[in-house]
Structure 1
Amino acid sequence: MKQLVELLAPVGSKEALCAAVESGADAVYLAGKLFGARAYAPNFDHEQLAEAIRFAHLRGVAVYVAVNTIVDNNEMAELAAYLQFLYQAGADAIIVQDLGVAYIARQVTPGLPLHASTQMTVHNLAGVTFLSETGFRRVVLARELALADIKYICQHSKAEIETFIHGALCICYSGQCLMSGMIGGRSGNRGRCAQPCRLPYTLVDEQGQDVLQQADTGEYLLSPKDLNTLELIPDFITAGVKSFKIEGRMKRPEYVAIVVDTYRRAIDAALNDKAAAIGEQEQKDLAQIFNRDFTTAYLSGRPGRNMMSDRRPNNRGVRIGRVTNYQAAGKLVTIKLDEPLNVSDIVEFWVKVGGRVSANVTAMTVNGQSVMTAPAGAAVTITVQSPVRINDRVFKVYDARLMERAQSFFAGPSAVRRIGIAVKVSVAEGRPLTVEILDSEGFTGTAQTNFIAERALKRPLNRETIAKQIERLGTTVFELRELECSVDGEVMVPISEINDARRRAVAELEKARLERFKRPALEKIQSVQQAELSVHDPVRRRKALTNARKPELSVHVDQLDKVEAALAGGADVIVFGGENFSHQPIGLTEYREAVKLVRRYGRKITLSTPRLVKEWQRKVLAEEFRLFGELKPDAVSVGNVGTLQLARTLLELPLHGDYPLNIYNNAAIAFLAGQGLSSVTLSPELNFSQVEDIAGKSPIPVECIVQGHLTLMVSEHCSMGSYLGGLHAGSCSKVCRQGYFWLKDRKNERFPVITDQFCRMHVLNAKELNMLPHVLKFGNIGVDRIRIEGKYSQAGALGKITRLYREILDQGEKHPRLAEPSIPANENQALTRGHYFRGVL
């Protein structure tokens, strides 16, 4: 028997909630006005949230509330109160990105189930295992996984697995994107992504030349197509996926209705081995309601440019034909249709010059005759206000009939998705009339009239009269399927009494249906005080900070010549390994040599791991861990929860948590310290004030990045391989190793684009972070270590900048360079102070 699965729908408004429930969702996910990753959706206030949960629960639909942003220390008390509200309102689970949120939830609402958001970047079994062992019931996997990986994880996981099946894709691994925050101050990790991936870019070389000028490609080089897995639903079921998630909390309710209805029928067909129930029309409906063209993303491999919507970053509609004639004088255009067209539709012409021309179809003719609808194959004439040309392509971007069908799910006066009930009515002289209701799931509701039945003088009760009143279910969710009437003798009961008994029986049934979602009341309402997130001995911590003359200086590198340059420049700590930007894998020999070199200088070394470790990489990582155990570095750095799980299982060494873990508050530090981390690098999206607050309360040493080109995006998609290397054809010419490339935006900022040894693309910041003039402030506010990101630097330049930091740390305010208005890291290179003075929204 095939396992039951859950269809999970996105909800950003009350109308979308109705659309999702009525079109067949088993569960919905939504957010309140606080801490949701779609801050620009309408969302729900507290009263609306409580009503939404009741609305869904009455219909047997689960509600998961997204609390999936990273949270500031100052927001923790508000977070705790919000979580307690969600618990009491009956939310079935919360969806979490920030480990600090999970930490607080376990304290204040231990009975509230946790789901790990895709923003946690969980992409391997070890990550799922870690979260399962730390209290998570479900994990949403990264969208970069192949179907084979998903199946493997499902087969070995104790946690439920949820995966996306439809909707928009991020080009960057979710939870790893710093681009929106860095270029516009609106952080995706805080729910305010400005979607820089949907903007135009030019891929340029060292001379600034457009390397795709002769290629048949658009300018939206980071804009993926939309995910569509309709034909893969049976495979997901076989793989063992529990929850099938549709993306789209920012989408209109009509989108939710059509997509949910389509996948509902696909899932039901697959569960009942009726594959023929889904066909070409369903795919057309999905495309018509919204598409950037469709892809199955990485489920079957790396599709290269075939995954990208590089010509248009928004809805493209459905192509319905081409222009065959245009009369400028009358503004009349004739279209040879490949698909039907109706009055009230909206079409868009993809003109060769000037972009797009839109037209509302208010009237149309075929062979001179006015028509309301035209079939495929017809030549239809409509009015268009702007010039078009013969052979221009025509797309339908609004289908009036499809929208009418979509709106029927949520805009009608009564429910579409009704619950069948069987009703038994019994009455006898001298007794009250009794209404007993049994629904299709076995829940019951019973009520009696206050009136005692009397002998009828004129019109005794009969089945027809009773049925007429019982059928009046109005706007309730119930539908009468069966009625049994037992009338003993000729009796009379007022119609108003029968109606009142029916209403009360329905209310009892509703209460019974809601009771199953009820959870025990909180034993006590807890608040979170900042002291609870501090070290156990804050006095000792302050004393340690006072006695510390300066923070340690660490340098993160990927090549041995940079190790030597950083050591010669005065680095206290070398961080070696992880992703390599020189296209050469870091082998066991390199790790040995790096440790030997650092020990010769008498310094510390942390051996780093990749921020992403898919299942195929685990064997190599295990070999590296065996070597690390032999080499005994001062620490091993991990950047995701999966690697943390493997490291704490296989190693007996100090573990450091790197910034891809998005450590934004003391609760996250408390959580990770409890899981074995001995130090952490804070999120680069924090400002000085936030860093000071965290550092002063942290039970373990904290590090901040002060120098280097930060990775703003990391992606399985490679622009160079996709557009120049032939990746879409199944192989890649490794053009990325034949030169250097940048993505140039509309403001002529050039973002370095580089690949690592795993062929993942990293988009670096156009400006190099440089905190030299303010480096002493880090020590003053309690930061234990500052770090230079040196992977993108040449050894010579890295040695010089390391020396500058070393000298300023050693000489303090006396250093002559501090008097200069700015201290460039490299000549003629743009610099940034990152978020240290501004933070993010």
Structure 2
Amino acid sequence: LRLELAELQWIGIHAVIVQDLGVARFIRKNFPSLRLHASTQLAVHNLAGVLAAMEFGFKRVVVARELTAQELRRIQTAVEGLDVEIEAFCHGSLCYSYSGLCFFSGAEDARSGNRGECAYTCRKPYRILNEPGHGFLFSMKDLNTSKDLGKLVEANIHTLKIEGRKKDAQYVATSVGLYRQELNRIFGRETAPGGRSIVRDYQHDMSFSFHRDMTSLFVNGRYHENVIDLNNPTHKGVLIGQIEKVRDRTIELLSTVPLERFDGLRIDSTEDLFHSKPQHGEKVKGSLKGAQNKYRNNVSQFSLREFAIRGRRMNETNANTRVEIELPAEIELPKIGDKVYKIRSNELKRHTENLIKAPADARLRPLLSIDLKFQAVRSDETLVLSVEATLAGTHILAETVQLDYQTAKKPNLAADILDNFTILGDAACDCHVSFQGDGEAFVPRSVLKELKQKLNTALPQAIQRVKDESIQSSLDTLTHKRRELPAATHAAFAIKIDRLEYLDAIKDFAAQNPGFALSEIIFEPKRAFLGKLSPKEVFQSLFDKREGANIRLAFPTVLRAWDEPLLKAWVIAFKDAGGSRYEIGNIGARRLL
């Protein structure tokens, strides 16, 4: 990580997205030129979390996907004018849990989603044990807020985020195009840099880029729509028709959409892959086996190589045309009535390939990003022209030229310096150039050329020196000898509970095990287990039955805005009972406390 960060600080990236607070501190200390963005894996979901992230040095916070537009607007209004930006997801895959708080994959497959190793355990089919039911019980639909984008714009957040991990160029082009086009419509003008928007039916194109069924999640508020797709955990495409005839290895159907060779098709059985008691009753429909096959991608999908209209081979056809499609040898023969989906578009593929071609004048050589600060100062009849190369304020090198002072007939020194020094090709540097001082002075082009040659020659070695120093400094930080903790002399236990009846069980266990030393009871209040007891009554019981142990109040890991008044009542009651210890599981909780 140290070596990667040492390289990243030079290449002009906008920021690093960080989840681990220790890594964030390490970057601030050793690589201060790198801008920090708080990852959604930090599960920041309230104003207190955003303010805490800002105090940790984050310049932008990617908030939890679960926030409503109203919550986003409230947070953005509160941080207006502060040195922090709000970034919110508008599109992409959804996790069954808050990002950063999911232990499903880690528990079943030893691959933690919180470490970027998610095994997509929530996409598997499951059977309900205590009643008839099976299907993709945890598989979330994909987020698509394009039709509600105005609410995110009104929230005044800084950045829209499109989830795109492991997605291909076609998905990127389509999803970005969709939201750019919607922003153009909302603002009534071109919003893309350089006016590069391309008008297309991106909603239609999304059907041919990987996505599941769509939901706006909680943008409009909680519980507005069903966000689980029990029947399909993967890309679905567009239904083009149902098979009407099967002859040898040829199927016939009426296609409701245009087709062309090399489109991607998939054939699905009409059998439901889920059973839900409220909809279907006690008699089980479908089978878990079909759902398991879909999860493993054991489905009939293929590239459309050969198709015909009334026996005549075709390369393309219009919508609402009866077509005969020849199936590849490896595809299992379908049944009459099976559904056919178009899952990929060859036309969209060509469009994307044209977009990703590098322009003829594109620079393919990587450039290092540095600052060049020029200053021209007149001293009597002498002009002193100096330049300092820096990276986020860190000195790299300096050069100075002295020459007889002359007044320029057409003062243009600042522009000449900008033209000559923005790119230092031999040193592979992309420079942010600034100028201060006497802009009326005349400096011959030959002098500027000689200064540029000096910088081209000296910068590579100077940059390597600064890079080596930052690498060594970061190593010193990691190997710094820390204070040793005293060795433990005896075992002590802390127990976390969420209901009062556990207190009697703890007391009985302690009586049967004299060596059991209970040092602390951690209590997280959950209304479902506390009946009509008030916070005061709960803590009275806890402190009366603690058997000498300390009592610690645990904050819920997730604290939405509407939870705060209730939690405040619990904190006040805890303090009134003599409590002073707390457990927090989110960066916003300490500030909220």
TM superposition score normalised by structure 1: 0.51
CA contact (8 A) 2:177 2:198 kept: no
For 2:574, the equivalent position in structure 1 comes to 628
AA partner of residue 559 (structure 2): V
Range with bigger deviation, 115-124 or 629-638:
629-638
For 1:469, the equivalent position in structure 2 comes to none
For 2:325, the equivalent position in structure 1 comes to 382
CA contact (8 A) 1:349 1:394 kept: yes
CA contact (8 A) 1:287 1:293 kept: no
CA contact (8 A) 1:125 1:153 kept: yes
For 2:240, the equivalent position in structure 1 comes to 320
For 2:164, the equivalent position in structure 1 comes to 248
- Report whether the alignment pairs 1:204 with 2:129: yes
Aligned equivalents of 1:211, 1:584: Cα separation in 2: 31
For 1:298, the equivalent position in structure 2 comes to 218
CA 1:101 to 1:339, structure 2 compared with 1: closer, same or farther past 3 Å?
same
CA 1:381 to 1:609, structure 2 compared with 1: closer, same or farther past 3 Å?
same
CA 1:281 to 1:532, structure 2 compared with 1: closer, same or farther past 3 Å?
same
Query: Which ranges of structure 2 fall in alignment gaps of 5 or more residues?
Result: 192-196, 272-289, 294-298, 364-415, 422-448, 457-462, 511-517
For 2:345, the equivalent position in structure 1 comes to 399
CA 1:267 to 1:636, structure 2 compared with 1: closer, same or farther past 3 Å?
same
CA contact (8 A) 1:558 1:581 kept: no
For 2:368, the equivalent position in structure 1 comes to none
CA contact (8 A) 2:207 2:343 kept: no
CA 1:271 to 1:109, structure 2 compared with 1: closer, same or farther past 3 Å?
same
Residue-by-residue CA offset, 1:344-388 (whole Å, 9 max, x unaligned): 112111124766322432222223433322222111111124322
Aligned equivalents of 1:255, 1:373: Cα separation in 2: 23
For 2:11, the equivalent position in structure 1 comes to 89
- Report whether the alignment pairs 1:361 with 2:332: no
Aligned equivalents of 1:148, 1:278: Cα separation in 2: 31
For 1:596, the equivalent position in structure 2 comes to 543
For 1:106, the equivalent position in structure 2 comes to 28
Please, which of 471, 483, 497 is the counterpart of residue 557 of structure 1? 497
Aligned equivalents of 1:594, 1:414: Cα separation in 2: 76
- Report whether the alignment pairs 1:226 with 2:142: yes
Residue-by-residue CA offset, 1:32-84 (whole Å, 9 max, x unaligned): xxxxxxxxxxxxxxxxxxxxxxxxxxxxxxxxxxxxxxxxxxxxxxx334323
CA 1:132 to 1:523, structure 2 compared with 1: closer, same or farther past 3 Å?
farther
CA 1:122 to 1:625, structure 2 compared with 1: closer, same or farther past 3 Å?
same
CA 1:168 to 1:196, structure 2 compared with 1: closer, same or farther past 3 Å?
same
- Report whether the alignment pairs 1:183 with 2:104: no
AA partner of residue 625 (structure 1): V
Aligned equivalents of 1:326, 1:388: Cα separation in 2: 8
For 2:386, the equivalent position in structure 1 comes to none
CA contact (8 A) 2:38 2:62 kept: yes
AA partner of residue 86 (structure 2): I
User: Could you tell me how far 1:318 is from its partner in structure 2?
Assistant: 1.7
Aligned CA RMSD, in angstroms, stands at 3.3
Q: How does 1:275-674 map to 2 (within 5 A)?
A: 281-303=201-223, 306-327=226-247, 329=248, 331-352=249-270, 356-384=299-327, 385-411=331-357, 414=360, 445=419, 524-525=469-470, 526-529=473-476, 535=482, 537-538=483-484, 541-542=485-486, 545=487, 548-570=488-510, 571-579=518-526, 582=529, 584=531, 587-599=534-546, 601-647=547-593
Partner of 2:341, secondary structure, is strand
CA contact (8 A) 1:554 1:573 kept: yes
Aligned equivalents of 2:213, 2:300: Cα separation in 1: 19
Aligned equivalents of 1:534, 1:195: Cα separation in 2: 40
CA contact (8 A) 1:151 1:240 kept: yes
- Report whether the alignment pairs 1:151 with 2:91: no
Aligned equivalents of 1:123, 1:625: Cα separation in 2: 20
CA 1:382 to 1:304, structure 2 compared with 1: closer, same or farther past 3 Å?
same
Partner of 2:125, secondary structure, is coil
Aligned equivalents of 1:223, 1:351: Cα separation in 2: 20
AA partner of residue 288 (structure 1): F
For 1:237, the equivalent position in structure 2 comes to 153
Aligned equivalents of 2:11, 2:477: Cα separation in 1: 26
CA 1:155 to 1:305, structure 2 compared with 1: closer, same or farther past 3 Å?
closer
User: Could you tell me how far 1:112 is from its partner in structure 2?
Assistant: 2.0
AA partner of residue 347 (structure 1): L
CA contact (8 A) 1:316 1:397 kept: yes
Count of matched residue pairs: 459
CA contact (8 A) 2:267 2:300 kept: yes
CA contact (8 A) 1:140 1:162 kept: yes
CA contact (8 A) 2:60 2:86 kept: yes
Aligned equivalents of 1:586, 1:293: Cα separation in 2: 43
Residue-by-residue CA offset, 1:778-811 (whole Å, 9 max, x unaligned): xxxxxxxxxxxxxxxxxxxxxxxxxxxxxxxxxx
CA 1:636 to 1:532, structure 2 compared with 1: closer, same or farther past 3 Å?
farther
Aligned equivalents of 2:33, 2:580: Cα separation in 1: 39
For 2:444, the equivalent position in structure 1 comes to none
Partner of 1:95, secondary structure, is strand
AA partner of residue 259 (structure 2): L
CA contact (8 A) 1:332 1:382 kept: yes
Partner of 1:260, secondary structure, is helix
AA partner of residue 227 (structure 2): M
CA 1:532 to 1:274, structure 2 compared with 1: closer, same or farther past 3 Å?
closer
Partner of 1:627, secondary structure, is helix
CA contact (8 A) 1:80 1:104 kept: no
AA partner of residue 69 (structure 2): L
User: Could you tell me how far 1:177 is from its partner in structure 2?
Assistant: 1.4
Aligned equivalents of 1:184, 1:408: Cα separation in 2: 40
CA contact (8 A) 2:499 2:525 kept: no
CA contact (8 A) 1:563 1:574 kept: no
CA contact (8 A) 2:499 2:530 kept: no
CA 1:154 to 1:323, structure 2 compared with 1: closer, same or farther past 3 Å?
same
Aligned equivalents of 2:269, 2:530: Cα separation in 1: 42
CA contact (8 A) 2:261 2:315 kept: yes
Q: How does 1:109-128 map to 2 (within 5 A)?
A: 109-128=31-50
Q: How does 1:155-166 map to 2 (within 5 A)?
A: 155-157=77-79, 158=82, 159-166=84-91
CA contact (8 A) 2:177 2:202 kept: no
Partner of 2:66, secondary structure, is coil
User: Could you tell me how far 1:104 is from its partner in structure 2?
Assistant: 0.8
Partner of 2:9, secondary structure, is helix
User: Could you tell me how far 1:580 is from its partner in structure 2?
Assistant: 6.0
User: Could you tell me how far 1:281 is from its partner in structure 2?
Assistant: 2.7
User: Could you tell me how far 1:633 is from its partner in structure 2?
Assistant: 1.8
User: Could you tell me how far 1:268 is from its partner in structure 2?
Assistant: 2.8
CA 1:552 to 1:580, structure 2 compared with 1: closer, same or farther past 3 Å?
farther
Q: How does 1:748-759 map to 2 (within 5 A)?
A: none
Partner of 1:289, secondary structure, is coil
TM superposition score normalised by structure 2: 0.71
AA partner of residue 188 (structure 1): G
CA contact (8 A) 1:169 1:226 kept: yes
AA partner of residue 18 (structure 2): V
Aligned equivalents of 1:129, 1:227: Cα separation in 2: 26
CA contact (8 A) 1:160 1:242 kept: yes
CA contact (8 A) 1:409 1:416 kept: no
CA 1:143 to 1:587, structure 2 compared with 1: closer, same or farther past 3 Å?
farther
CA 1:306 to 1:530, structure 2 compared with 1: closer, same or farther past 3 Å?
same
Range with bigger deviation, 303-312 or 520-529:
520-529
